[in-house]
Structure 1
Amino acid sequence: MGMTNEYQVTGMSCGHCESAVRGEVGKLEGVEQIEVSAADGRLVIVSTGALDDAAVLAAVDEAGYEATRI
């Protein structure tokens, strides 16, 4: 079973936003599953091991949004 990390993401408003975040976070090593909700402003990542929070935040930033770990 993987590790779960949850983040609050600000600025998302639609499916395109969700896709952008999913695409960037999906490039990170060890990511198994990604759930993104623009309506809730949530990002949930299931990974094979511990993720570097800075890498996740940088990926979300690259997609054009801002995130904080919950």
Structure 2
Amino acid sequence: MSSTDYTVRGMTCDHCAGSVTAEITKIPGVTGVQVDVPAGRVTVESEQPVSTDAVSEAVEEAGYEVVSA
């Protein structure tokens, strides 16, 4: 198991969290996503490490931006 935290800019509500979760869970190997909207933090759990680029692309598809991993 692998777990990585990302800082995401632009999330303000539960709808934001749902959008980000939906996009990240499409990445092969992802087993869980936890979003902390007030902290702007997303934790991605996966079978194997997932590339930061893949997570960034998924977050951007949801309309937000990864600012650090």
What CA distance in whole angstroms lies between the structure 1 residues aligned with 2:14 and 2:42?
A: 13
Q: Which residue type is aligned with residue 11 of structure 1? A: G
TM-score by length of 1: 0.93
Structure 2 alignment gaps of length 5 or more: none
Residue aligning to 2:6? 7
Runs of 4+ with deviation above 6 angstroms: none
Q: Indicate the RMSD between aligned Cα atoms, in angstroms.
A: 0.8
Residue aligning to 1:30? 29
Residue aligning to 2:47? 48
Structure 1 alignment gaps of length 5 or more: none
Aligned: 1:58 with 2:57:
yes
Q: State how many pairs are aligned.
A: 69
TM-score by length of 2: 0.95
Q: CA offsets, 1:19-48, max 9 Å, x none?
A: 000000000000011101111100001100
Q: The residue matched to 2:56 in structure 1 has which SS? A: helix
